[in-house]
């Protein structure tokens, strides 16, 4: 373990699902690093492989998925070399995950209090005073009457309440890296903002790093230090958040931004990316070529490599390859 | 406090339902018996009975009164636990006494069968789900299909041939009452209990396996893993605990097979129980005896269903 090692280093991560007769390559060679206390935004359309990337890192994909990587290192330690049981011990306390669907994230037969108590037990905390600790954490995530929530069953609480409780459960384990998978997708605007604020406050307090999966560029810009844009299972652009949002390099990122900007202004005509997302990417060349407005003959033949255009900001596009 | 009170109300409602179903069931048995062929007088007195003797028999048992009156009289007695006396089989003997002597045997066989079915299915269902898609799973699933397809009377004879006559492991006929010797009852009751248990065990196993596999893929199981909880913890508290809800529900639904099972299997194995008593009574057109037996069976099934309902409400807070 060296002091210079990033918190998480992922190199050439691939995840493939064996389907009926055909393989679905959900993640194709994703590489990125996350530094201690930093937030990396993983953005892209649905089906681009964002969630699968998070689940693959945590080894939570179902058995019919196969995952490979040149290197997945946590604090310089190679995770791929760990047995399932060794890796299991890192989950929750080192690498935590906030899931999209808070209602399904709790066991419907158990009270919220049970979930939080078991989380504290998992961390090795003082189980005798779990109620005080869980109550404090619920208050921290904006629940004013923790006792009521602790005694409630999941079906008795609203989606926003459950998402807060879920976040509290993850925070109770004090992970150094939190994978947040669209944690506010099913919530209304106000609750969304509150929850983002409390995630940020907690991050500032404990210095956790976050891999923030979202399709919302506005959220990514407000929350993230760096942004990685995914398309068809590949990271097509990665760089500092401001640079990616102000000077996007990849035509897909440019299109995504234009769409997002046109949505923000009610008077503007809706900018749409041509073509359909989520199609099977071509065998050869650039995956985005069929939808790209700058497409060249070479794009259909040669697969572009990640090219650094300015320090820390690169894209996978032949336009930028020298 | 409010939740507790509404829980009480719901329990009271369920209990009211039990009483209503018992009433309807009793009426159905009463009128179905009388709508059928046969005459208890001829069964008791024989084909050669004189018309005077038959008339005296019918007068003694008030069989010529209007049916509604007979039903009312019977119901009034049954409500106070007085089922009257047997007309034909044990002429004049109080039915309550007959039932009291036979019921423990049947309850024993029924509970024995249920315990066997539950222990077999818990083991087979969990093993099949954990070894999903492998040999053990295939074997357990095939055995379950076989178990569901086998009629109990057929299985009874197979068990008698194989385990009693062939290997000599168990007696082929006769049953030692649990009051006489509990160990003896366990031993002599094993084959009849197994014959009743097999189809239930098969149905329970399939239910449990399916429920476990379905629960394994729920989000909260993945979330529990993401927190780093161990596989055993996840299985016990997130998978098995939740799969119990449909499993227990199915047990409640299948308990009626216990009833049908004991009636047939008791005859085959010579168990001196309520099932064989009811069959004898039905053949003899011993109306009050059949009615009493049927009512006792019905109440037993309803009590078990009632208990299962309460357990389910405990297991599933959304249903409480």
Q: At residue B75, does pLDDT exceed 50?
A: yes
Would an 8 Å CB–CB cutoff place B248 in contact with chain A? no
Distance CA A65, CA A70 (A): 17
Percent of chain B beyond pLDDT 70?
A: 98
Between residues A278 and A81, which one has the greater pLDDT? A81
Residue A47: pLDDT band (50, 70, 90) is confident
What is the rounded average pLDDT of the residues B214-239? 95
Per the CB < 8 A criterion, the answer to whether A51 and A65 are in contact is: no
CB contact under 8 A, B317 and A105: no
**Residue A46 backbone zone (phi > 0: left; psi -120 to 50: alpha; other: beta):** beta
Residue numbers of the domain that contains B156: 105-276
Q: Which chain A residue has the Cα nearest residue B233?
A: A118
**Chain segment A185-224, per-residue pLDDT in tens:** 878 888 888 889 999 999 999 999 999 999 888 889 999 9
Distance CA A237, CA A230 (A): 7
Q: At residue B254, does pLDDT exceed 60?
A: yes
Structure letter (DSSP) for residue A280:
P
Tokens of B221: 């199981």
Would an 8 Å CB–CB cutoff place A173 in contact with chain B? yes
Cα-based torsion angle of the residue sequence B44, B48, B53, B57 in order, rounded to the nearest 10 degrees: 20
Between residues B135 and B117, which one has the greater pLDDT? B117
What is the rounded average pLDDT of the residues A38-63? 91
Q: Which of A76-80, A228-232, B11-15, B148-152 has the highest mean pLDDT?
A: A228-232
Per the CB < 8 A criterion, the answer to whether B125 and B208 are in contact is: yes
- Residue A109 confidence (pLDDT): 95
Min Cα separation A253/chain B (Å): 31
Per-residue b or e along B28-58, where b marks 16 or more CB atoms closer than 10 Å to that residue's CB:
ebbeebeeeeeebbebbbeeebeeeebeebe
For an interface test with A, give the residue of B217, B227, B240, B243 to mutate (most A CBs within 10 A): B227
Distance CA A161, CA A143 (A): 7
| Cross-strand partners of A210 | A39, A178
Per the CB < 8 A criterion, the answer to whether A284 and A300 are in contact is: yes
- Residue B120 confidence (pLDDT): 95
Q: At residue A2, does pLDDT exceed 50?
A: no
- Give me the residues of A, 66-95, that contact B with CB < 8 A: 88-93
Min Cα separation A62/chain B (Å): 9
Cβ contacts from A onto B, under 8 A = 73
What is the rounded average pLDDT of the residues A77-106? 92
- Residue B320 confidence (pLDDT): 65
Residue A72: pLDDT band (50, 70, 90) is very high
Q: CA nearest A151: which of B48, B187, B317? A: B317
- Residue A21 confidence (pLDDT): 74
Give the closest of A99, A106, A122 to B228, CB-based.
A122
Residue B150 domain flag: yes
Q: At residue B197, does pLDDT exceed 80?
A: yes
Between residues B156 and A180, which one has the greater pLDDT? A180
Q: CA nearest B88: which of B35, B47, B45? A: B45
Distance CA A204, CA A210 (A): 11
Q: CA nearest A234: which of A312, A305, A131? A: A305
- Residue B170 confidence (pLDDT): 84
Would an 8 Å CB–CB cutoff place B316 in contact with chain A? yes
Distance CA A226, CA A312 (A): 9
Out of A5-14, B50-59, B105-114, pick the least confident: B50-59
The rounded mean pLDDT for chain B is: 87
Q: How far is CA A25 from CA A47, A136, A253, A272, A283, in A?
A: 11, 43, 21, 26, 11
**Which H helix or E strand runs over A71?**
strand A71-74
Distance CA A68, CA A91 (A): 19
Q: Which chain B residue has the Cα nearest residue A59?
A: B226
CATH of the domain at B153: 1.10.3720.10
Q: Which chain A residue has the Cα nearest residue B312?
A: A109
User: Which are the contacts of B249, defined by CB distance < 8 A and separation ≥ 6?
Assistant: B308, B312
Min Cα separation B3/chain A (Å): 12
Distance CA B234, CA B243 (A): 12
Per the CB < 8 A criterion, the answer to whether A122 and A93 are in contact is: yes
Structure letter (DSSP) for residue B179:
T
> Domain count of chain B?
1
Distance CA B100, CA B80 (A): 15
For an interface test with B, give the residue of A84, A105, A107 to mutate (most B CBs within 10 A): A107
Residue B33 domain flag: no
**Residue A19 backbone zone (phi > 0: left; psi -120 to 50: alpha; other: beta):** beta
Residue B49 domain flag: no
Would an 8 Å CB–CB cutoff place B232 in contact with chain A? no
The rounded mean pLDDT for chain A is: 89
Residue B36 domain flag: no
Return the residue matching tokens 């009811």. B278
DSSP annotation string for B239-288: IIHHHHHHHHHHHHHHHHHHHHHHHHHHHHHT--SHHHHHHHHHHTT-HH
Q: Which chain A residue has the Cα nearest residue B222?
A: A60
- Residue B150 confidence (pLDDT): 80
- ∠ CA B139-B143-B147, nearest 5°, is 170
- Residue A172 confidence (pLDDT): 95
Residue B260 domain flag: yes
**Chain segment A16-42, per-residue pLDDT in tens:** 998 777 788 899 999 999 999 999 999
CB contact under 8 A, A107 and B227: no
- Residue A277 confidence (pLDDT): 60
- Residue A279 confidence (pLDDT): 59
Give the closest of A108, A119, A155 to B227, CB-based.
A119
Q: Which chain A residue has the Cα nearest residue B313?
A: A109
Q: Which domains does chain A have, with CATH numbers?
A: 8-94+175-320 (3.40.50.300)
Out of A104-118, B115-129, B140-154, pick the least confident: B140-154
Q: At residue B48, does pLDDT exceed 90?
A: no
């Amino acid at each position: 373990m060296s002091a210079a090692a990033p918190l998480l280093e992922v190199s050439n991560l691939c995840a493939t699902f064996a389907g009926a007769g055909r393989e679905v390559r959900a993640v194709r060679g994703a590489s990125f690093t996350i530094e201690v206390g930093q937030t990396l935004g993983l953005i892209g359309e649905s089906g681009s492989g964002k969630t699968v990337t998070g689940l693959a890192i945590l080894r939570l994909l179902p058995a019919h998925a196969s995952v490979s990587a040149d290197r997945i290192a946590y604090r310089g330690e190679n995770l791929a070399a760990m047995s399932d049981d060794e890796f299991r011990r890192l989950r929750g306390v080192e690498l935590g995950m906030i899931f999209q669907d808070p209602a399904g994230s709790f066991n419907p037969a158990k009270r919220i209090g049970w979930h939080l108590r078991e989380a504290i037990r998992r961390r090795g905390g003082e189980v005798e005073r779990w109620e005080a600790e869980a109550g404090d954490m619920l208050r921290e995530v904006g629940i004013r009457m923790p006792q009521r929530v602790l005694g409630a069953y999941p079906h008795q609480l609203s989606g926003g309440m459950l998402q807060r409780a879920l976040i509290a459960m993850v925070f109770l384990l004090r992970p150094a890296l939190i994978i947040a998978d669209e944690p506010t997708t099913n919530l209304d605007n106000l609750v969304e903002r509150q929850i983002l604020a409390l995630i940020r406050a907690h991050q500032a307090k404990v210095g956790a790093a976050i891999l923030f999966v979202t399709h919302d560029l506005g959220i990514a810009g407000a929350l993230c230090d760096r942004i990685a844009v995914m398309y068809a299972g590949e990271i097509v652009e990665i760089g500092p958040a401001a640079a990616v949002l102000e000077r996007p390099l990849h035509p897909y990122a440019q299109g995504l931004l234009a769409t997002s900007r046109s949505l923000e202004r009610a008077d503007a005509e809706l900018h749409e990316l041509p073509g359909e997302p989520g199609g099977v990417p071509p065998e050869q060349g650039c995956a985005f070529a069929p939808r790209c407005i700058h497409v060249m003959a070479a794009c259909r033949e040669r697969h572009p490599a990640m090219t650094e255009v300015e320090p820390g900001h690169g894209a996978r596009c032949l336009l930028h390859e020298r | 406090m409010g939740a507790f009170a509404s829980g009480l109300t719901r329990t009271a409602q369920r209990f009211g339902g039990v009483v209503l179903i018992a009433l309807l069931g009793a009426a159905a048995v009463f009128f179905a018996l009388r709508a059928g062929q046969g005459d208890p007088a001829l069964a008791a007195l024989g084909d050669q009975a004189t018309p005077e003797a038959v008339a005296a028999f019918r007068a003694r048992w008030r069989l010529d009164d209007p049916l509604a009156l007979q039903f009312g009289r019977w119901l009034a007695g049954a409500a106070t636990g007085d089922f009257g006396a047997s007309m034909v089989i044990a002429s004049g003997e109080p039915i309550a006494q007959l039932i009291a002597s036979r019921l423990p045997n049947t309850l024993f066989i029924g509970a024995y069968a249920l315990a066997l079915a539950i222990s077999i299915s818990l083991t087979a269902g969990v093993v099949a789900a954990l070894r999903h898609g492998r040999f053990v799973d295939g074997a357990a699933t095939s055995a379950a299909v076989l178990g569901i397809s086998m009629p109990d009377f057929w299985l009874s004879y197979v068990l008698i041939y194989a385990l009693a006559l062939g290997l000599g492991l168990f007696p082929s006929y006769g049953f030692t009452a649990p009051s006489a010797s509990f160990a003896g009852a366990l031993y002599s009751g094993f084959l009849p209990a197994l014959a009743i248990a097999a189809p239930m065990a098969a149905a329970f196993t399939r239910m449990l396996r399916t429920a476990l596999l379905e629960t394994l893929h729920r989000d909260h199981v993945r979330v529990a893993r993401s927190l780093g909880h161990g596989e055993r913890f996840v299985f016990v508290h997130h998978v098995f605990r939740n799969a119990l809800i449909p499993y227990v529900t199915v047990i409640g639904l299948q308990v009626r097979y216990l009833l049908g099972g004991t009636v047939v299997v008791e005859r085959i194995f010579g168990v001196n129980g309520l099932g064989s008593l009811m069959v004898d009574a039905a053949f003899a057109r011993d109306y009050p005896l059949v009615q009493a037996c049927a009512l006792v069976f019905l109440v037993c099934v309803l009590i078990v269903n009632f208990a299962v309902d309460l357990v389910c409400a405990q297991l599933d807070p959304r249903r409480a």
